[in-house]
Amino acid sequence: MTETMKDIVAACQERGVSLGEWMIQREIERTGGEREKIFAQMQERLSVMKEAVAQGINDLEETTSKLSGGDAYRMHQYNQTTDPLSGPTISKAMEAAMATSESNAKMNVIVATPTAGSAGILPGIMISLQENHHVNDEALTMGLFAASAIGYVFANHAFVSGAAGGCQAEVGSATAMAAGTITELRGGSPEAVTHAVAMAMKSLLGLVCDPVGGLVEVPCVKRNVIGTSIAFSAADMALAGIESRIPCDEVIHTMHTIGKDMPGSLKETAEGGLAQTPTGLQAAQRVYQRPCNL
Amino acid sequence: MQFDSCFDIIGPIMVGPSSSHTAGVVSIGKFVHTWLGDLDHVTITFYGSLASTYQGHGSDKAIIGGLLGLSSRDLNIRSAYALAKDRHLDYHFTLVPDAPPDYHPNTVQVEAASRAGTLHIIGASIGGGVAMIYAINHQEASINLGTGVDIDTIVAKTKKEVSDV
């Protein structure tokens, strides 16, 4: 069986390293590749994230379904001209998350983190940490290694696809990864990281995958946006020394159990939840007018 | 272990909107293209979630794109149908929303023919852009098409194993 969060924390403590450093060392050992090349590969992902956001906040176009698009621009304008209630850190993350998820819905190029449906959350928190807290590209890249260490546990001990485990496996995992990454980048210990991960995941347990028309738009885009604020809340709690009363690995195991129990209608089939509302069904009808060549 | 690399988690760099219904599906198509070269005829069967939601996720464009040899970050995936027409690819889709219970919810079957021969595969896109090939020409297989995997290398290796049997 692959490493649990507990195993990774123990290894980090033994070597005196961060989760990000543990993950890059693991990748070097696994592939025999050079550190610089592996680091550059991850840095390329950060660059693609930034490009998607830069493009997305200026894109007013709607998607072909007309279910999303243009909201990142609205959020950006609002943030520029007012004093957002969520404060600069969270409001910037919301805007960047929205830009990424809208780009994804338009079939633009994004980075799956861990999936495309949940691709907005990590870029959201990364860009905000850079803009508001002066975290440089090198640190952010190490943050992506930390995020992948957390996601690696979720993917191998539970699941990261909505079809297999519901939205809790996608937006839930991504939000937990983001919470842990913020904690690490703000100087939290590996153990504090696991508490942030656990607290973020606990607040999203049971979330179903109910995309309108089977599109990655409603409710996916806004769930990514709100995921960033959950990530910052969980990280702030962990950095304050607050612990999750249920250990992180038990929370991940619970997500797996709930996902297995979840009915198929709520796992990316568009047969339940918001997909089956009158408005959702109308939207689906428009989309399903495009058959593949049967 | 199905997710082994950090780039299986942070990655792939891909055209949206879904890592499991778009990017992973491209990889399954690309596996077939790499095996057979440019294809003449292909029959694609989508099972389960893929059969229910392929339109919204562009899974049909994704499989066609992969079968034409595109990678998951190639924006031409959006125009896969036009490209298929230009390259005279003859394709047919079958949808089976009620997948057999032992199938992953995102299973794809491909029967393809090119000048180089024919190939029958069953694979699944298991999430996060990672795909698996479970059967090749009706023989059981377990090939991981993760983000860090070089498809050329894996196809060459698999072809050799198949011919050795």
State how far Cα B13 lies from the chain centre.
17
Query: What are the tens digits of pLDDT across the range A47-59?
Result: 999 999 999 999 9
* Domains held by chain B: number: 1
Indicate the SS3 state at residue A237. helix
Residues A188, A243 contacting (CB under 8 angstroms): no
- In a domain, residue B6? The reply is no
- In a domain, residue B4? The reply is no
Looking up residue A147, the CATH number of its domain turns out to be 1.10.4100
Confidence of residue A286 (pLDDT cuts 50, 70, 90): confident
Question: Residues 227 to 246 of A: which have CB under 8 A from any B CB?
Answer: none
Look at residue A259 in the predicted model and tell me its pLDDT: 98
Residues B44, B110 contacting (CB under 8 angstroms): yes
> Does A217 have pLDDT greater than 70?
yes
Q: State the Cα–Cα distance between residues A251 and B52, nearest whole angstrom.
A: 31
Query: What are the tens digits of pLDDT across the range B81-137?
Result: 999 999 999 999 999 988 888 888 899 999 999 999 999 999 999 888 999 999 999
> Does A293 have pLDDT greater than 50?
no
Confidence of residue B165 (pLDDT cuts 50, 70, 90): low
Closest Cβ–Cβ partner in A23, A152, A287 for B56: A287
- In a domain, residue A33? The reply is yes
- In a domain, residue A218? The reply is yes
Closest Cβ–Cβ partner in B5, B15, B128 for A109: B15
Q: Count Cβ–Cβ pairs < 8 Å, chain A vs chain B.
A: 192
Q: What is the domain extent for residue B83?
A: 21-160
Closest Cα in chain A, distance from residue B75 (Å): 7
Residues A87, A232 contacting (CB under 8 angstroms): no
Q: What is the domain extent for residue A217?
A: 5-284
- In a domain, residue A289? The reply is no
For B47, name the nearest residue in chain A, comparing CA atoms only.
Answer: A269
Query: What are the tens digits of pLDDT across the range B11-27?
Result: 999 999 999 999 999 99
Closest Cα in chain A, distance from residue B42 (Å): 12
Look at residue B99 in the predicted model and tell me its pLDDT: 83
Phi, psi of B35 (to 5 degrees): -70, -45
* Domains held by chain A: number: 1
- In a domain, residue B48? The reply is yes
- In a domain, residue B13? The reply is no
Residues of A in contact with B127 (CB under 8 A): 114-115, 155, 159-161, 163-164, 169
Question: Residues 82 to 111 of A: which have CB under 8 A from any B CB?
Answer: 103-111
* Token duo for residue A283: 């939207």
Residues of A in contact with B101 (CB under 8 A): none
- In a domain, residue B79? The reply is yes
- In a domain, residue B93? The reply is yes
- In a domain, residue B34? The reply is yes
Looking up residue B62, the CATH number of its domain turns out to be 3.30.1330.90
* Token duo for residue A165: 């485990």
